[in-house]
A = this chain, B = another copy of it.
Amino acid sequence: MNITLIGAGNLATNLGKALKAAQYHIGQVYSRTETSARQLGELLDCPWTTTLSGLADDADCFIISVKDNALEQVAEQVCRKFGNVTPQQAGGQPANDRKQGNNHLQDTAPIFLHTAGSMPIQLFEGRARRYGVLYPMQTFSKEREVDFSYIPCFVEASDEATMAQICQLARSISEEVHPMSSADRRYLHLAAVWACNFTNHCYDVASEILGRHDIPFSVMNALVDETAAKVHALPPRQAQTGPAVRFDENVLEAQMKLMEGELLQQELYRKLSESIHEYQKKVK
């Protein structure tokens, strides 16, 4: 399978490395910015381009990993070029398709994938014959190597034959592959924002508080790890500890004072404490 990667951000970089390690042929890489395109091209040892018109036409699979707010437009442009959709299928849109003669060979038409948790599969509808979603639920940074085999990948496809191929692709890089509808995946992505981005922000506030008193954030390592490990074994509600559980006004007020002048921190502190207390009341 010859894969073209559209996008060269954190996710595309990590996914590209995993696919290459699984012996897939990465034929080409696209990024709007030359630095990113060249960087990923060199990393994966493949040609790169900064224009969608420069995309080669021999890919079996286009994986589009761009920012959510650019995804629909990029998908539309790439599909217009290679989507193999007849004007009829596209609902009257011109197909501009050099492979139109292949329409009867359903299984050899290229597959279009996006990797976004919160974007629906439907954005390919009418624009490509075969398409799907491969959402690897993880927090990716370019400077950090991740073991893809533990990353749960949530997949969805336009049809059964395409689903089989997407599953095969996903299973070659991850041991955890789950089919999931776009409707459910939105909630999964929302939950990931809470469990990852908001969690990391809590670390960040802790880091800022410690920094003001010249205490290194590394003292938190054991606590951060145990907090994470604990919810493998206990439901988070049962794992909860600390002053907000009992909503001890004395402690809460004393801690609010320690954040004097930091209005957003104080607001968040109060709301999070209230919310913890509300959740704990449900337990009783």
Contacts and interface: CB of A to CB of B under 8 A. Distances in A.
Interface of A: 10, 67-69, 118, 137-141, 143-144, 146, 150-152, 176, 178, 184, 186-207, 209-210, 212-213, 215, 217-246, 248, 250-251, 254-255, 258-259, 264-265, 267-269, 271-272, 274-276, 278-279
A237 B202 CA distance: 10
Contacts of A138: 222-223, 226
Contacts of A237: 204, 207
Given A144-B234, A200-B230, A204-B235, 9 more contacts: A69-B248, A69-B251, A141-B238, A191-B209, A195-B206, A196-B223, A198-B268, A200-B240, A227-B228
| Residue of A201, A209, A231 contacting most chain B CB atoms (<10 Å) | A201
A25 to B, nearest CB: 27
Nearest to A232: B221
B195 A224 contact: yes
Q: Is the interface of A mostly helix, strand, loop or mixed?
A: helix
B258 A186 contact: yes
A278 B251 contact: no
Can you tell how many copies of this chain the complex includes? 2
5 contacts: A137-B223, A187-B209, A192-B220, A196-B224, A197-B244
Contacts of A271: 264, 267-268, 271
A246 B67 contact: yes
A152 B222 contact: yes
Pairs A-B, 6 closest by C-beta atoms: A197-B242, A204-B236, A228-B228, A191-B206, A203-B236, A195-B206
Nearest to A214: B184
Contacts of A68: 243, 248, 250-251
A205 to B, nearest CB: 5
Contact of A258 (B10, B187, B217): B187
Contacts of A276: 197-198, 201, 204
A7 B170 CA distance: 52
Nearest to A220: B195
Nearest to A249: B69
A191 B204 contact: no
A143 B234 CA distance: 9
Contacts of A228: 224-225, 227-228
Contacts of A243: 68, 118, 193, 197
A201 B250 CA distance: 21
